Structure 1
């Protein structure tokens, strides 16, 4: 009606645009006195699922209206003089969107097709849109929690006026792909663990910090308690305080994912599924905890460990494993000590102090390996597969050390 008031004549024709025969018939109805001069392809269908749960039906439903239709339009009009060939893509294909691997692939195809056409000297631009404020058939199912999750990720809705202005601006860009998206850069900077790789130059480098202690972990606020490269240090934290710190970390991040203001809303013994978690929320929580701890965590974390308390316990196990001394590094350090000792003169008094220290260290290592019973047993054997000192007692070994140190 609005177009008619402006003097335009509109014709609505129904056909399956993914079917080349039906599309050919529809294009043939365009009168020669008003030839085809431009195409705007806006089709899209969602069928969300995690990558590991995608089925051929998920993929077919999402790809067909975008990829098939776009390709048929290209083939059927490539010898027609067009002023524009506009493809409506989505920012998720470039920046990523949880649970929409199939939709991202479909939009990535449109972006590639625009580049292909321009390489062939044909007009094309793919507009990778962000979220619009005005509810559409595709976004009508988004609840307040879904919108809150998008806001936390730094994606804000576009008003219709802003969207149309960006559409006009995009038409004037001499490039195959544009991203008309409204971003909250401050929110993205607050979530460095989830910042899109392509926006790192725009967002700047993530600050480097180490979360070292329960107070830093427990006061996560509305941001993320951690960044890539940061590590959650357990050094010097008593066991009870460490357990509390990890539970508070999990509760804080679990509350943020659900849109709660404080960790108090989360019962650490209540199951995630009972609290309202689905697959997408589970992945978001995994991403937040990975960023906070520096650990590589599976997407099934909250299903394998279904309560915040169990997830905190698993994080404790993994962090302990990460901070366990590396045997190869210790041996390399011992090699360095041996090289330093070779430079000490035989009559240097320091050699005797070093010998005393080495005896104490060796006795402690052997005693720990034998449950504490080996440190005082003079006849105990230093057995070990492939060990050249396997038949030597502790006292004999210490005598060898003494002889070496005394030259």
Structure 2
């Protein structure tokens, strides 16, 4: 699996197992034995991943996969990755990819940030009026969140609809928190994302943390954040009680 090259959130053991196979092939080659490893991306029509949706991978057809296999074997390669990687989506969903040498060069060639030409960084928000701050933050969040959730069309992320209703899960929430922190220098708590917050709520929470909120809009994200944190604390207390169990 290409998980050995790109990683797989929540499936570290799976990525590790595939990396072990890559190492086995390298060992066989070093010993003069035949071996080739192909780190495959998602296939369409066949396989366990055929029914899954990935934000940064588009499926390859079986015919394309067989053609690629023939090319790899004919070339005598030791290890190669074969996947239809959507680098534009990857750069939006995983901004840290810009720090990885190979991918950084590709991202630079694509100019994938052209669609966000009005994003000049969190510091630039301080020079804008409140309405413009809200617009720019919403646009940036919408692009990041839609990429993480695997939507090619940003309009799929309704600013007024809870993120959990459009497919947000806990792994996505962690990825969103980390990505948002990279953009803004502040982050929404994962509990806020998982407890009914919509895109507008997240934007207002970030704006408040940056000290740029309008006075009349400050209460809503605070109240939502407080409720989310209270629920998270209640769940933690309940989990602790279950671990203790009945006393003899």
**TM-score when scaled to structure 2?**
0.64
- Give per-residue Cα distances to partners, 1:329-367, cap 9 Å, x unaligned: xxxxxxxxxxxxxxxxxxxxxxxxxxxxxxxxxxxxxxx
Residue 127 of structure 2 corresponds to residue 236 of structure 1: yes
Within 5 Å, give how 1:178-257 maps onto structure 2: 178-185=80-87, 193=95, 195=97, 197=100, 199-200=102-103, 203=106, 205=108, 216=118, 230-231=121-122, 233-255=124-146, 257=149
Give the deviation of 1:290 after TM superposition: 4.4
Q: Residue 165 of structure 2 corresponds to which residue in structure 1?
A: 274
Determine the C-alpha separation between the residues in 2 that align with 1:163 and 1:259. 25
Q: Residue 259 of structure 1 corresponds to which residue in structure 2?
A: 151
Q: Residue 324 of structure 1 corresponds to which residue in structure 2?
A: none
Determine the C-alpha separation between the residues in 2 that align with 1:314 and 1:187. 25
Aligned pair partner of 2:28 in 109, 117, 122: 117
Determine which structure has greater relative contact order: mean sequence separation of CA pairs < 8 Å that are 6+ residues apart, divided by chain length. Answer: 2
The 1:179/1:276 distance shift into structure 2, 3 A limit, reads: closer
- Give per-residue Cα distances to partners, 1:347-401, cap 9 Å, x unaligned: xxxxxxxxxxxxxxxxxxxxxxxxxxxxxxxxxxxxxxxxxxxxxxxxxxxxxxx
Residue 9 of structure 2 corresponds to residue 98 of structure 1: yes
- Give per-residue Cα distances to partners, 1:212-252, cap 9 Å, x unaligned: 9xx935xxxxxxxx8xxx54521221234423432343345
- Give per-residue Cα distances to partners, 1:123-152, cap 9 Å, x unaligned: 22211111112222x12442xxx25x2xxx
The 1:320/1:306 distance shift into structure 2, 3 A limit, reads: same
Whose radius of gyration is greater, 1 or 2? 1
Q: How many residues are treated as equivalent by the alignment?
A: 208
Give the deviation of 1:109 after TM superposition: 0.9
The 1:188/1:139 distance shift into structure 2, 3 A limit, reads: closer
- Aligned partners of 1:189 and 1:203 also within 8 Å: no
Structure 2 runs not aligned, ≥5 long: 213-248
Q: Residue 46 of structure 2 corresponds to which residue in structure 1?
A: 135
Residue 10 of structure 2 corresponds to residue 108 of structure 1: no
Q: Secondary structure of the residue that 1:98 maps to in structure 2?
A: coil
Higher fraction of helix: 2
RMSD: 4.0
Structure 1 runs not aligned, ≥5 long: 1-89, 218-225, 322-407
**TM-score when scaled to structure 1?**
0.42
